[in-house]
Structure formats: structure tokens, C-alpha cells
Amino acid sequence: MTKRLVADALMVLSAIFLPWWITAPLIVAGCMFMEAFYEGIMLAAIIDLIYGTTTLPHLTIAACLAFLAGPVLRERVRWYS
């Protein structure tokens, strides 16, 4: 739980202080490594609301796809230590 909270806080900070091309891979990584990473979608939606125009919210759609693909990838990818 603490790990997740720290990750969430870091991601919010990265959305505010770092360029989007650092935050976006972090959201994808969050979807990959964390169970039901809803925060990632919310963060992408906030970024789209701040910077996006009335066209499609690209980042939110990408986050949704990563969210859906995350569990599948997690199951199929084999990690070696």
C-alpha cells in the first residue's frame, strides 16, 4: 500500500513538473506492474483536460489501452531474475 501511494505521489509530481513524455511511460509502467491502476487513467485524463483541445483525448485513450493490456501482458511476460 505504501509503495503504491509513493508511486502515485511521484506520478502526480511528474505530471506537474516533468514533460508529458516522461509521465506517459510512467503511466504505462504503472499499468504493467500494479493491479488495477485506475490512477493512471485519471492522471492521463487530467493532463488531457489541462492541455488538450476539444479533439480526442489521446493520452487518456492510450492510458485506457495500457490499463486493459496491463494484466494480459503481466500474465504473458516471463521475468528472469
Partner 1 sequence: MYKVGTLVILVVLVVVFAAPVRAAVAGGVMWAVEPLLAMSRATHNGISSFIQTFSSTRTLIAENTAIKRELDDLKMRLLDRNLLAEENAQLRELMGQTPVPSGVLGTVLSGPGFAPYDTLVVDAGKNVGIQEGDRVFIGENVIIGRVSAVYAYSSQVVLLSSPGEKSDVVLFGGTSSDSVVTAIGRGGGSFEILIPRDIVIATGTPVFALGTSRIIATVEGSEGNANDPFKKLLLRTPINPQSIRFVRIVSSRPPL
Nearer Cβ to partner 1 (17/80): 17
Q: Which of 49, 65, 69, 73 binds partner 1 (CB under 8 A)?
A: 49
Q: How far apart (Å, rounded) are the C-alpha atoms in residues 47 and 71?
A: 24
**Smallest gap, in angstroms, from Cβ of residue 81 to partner 1?**
27
Q: List all residues 6 or more positions away from 5 whose beta carbon is below 8 Å from its beta carbon.
A: none
The piece of 3-11, 19-27, 73-81 that touches partner 1 (CB under 8 A) is 19-27
- Total residues in contact with partner 1, by rule CB under 8 A: 28
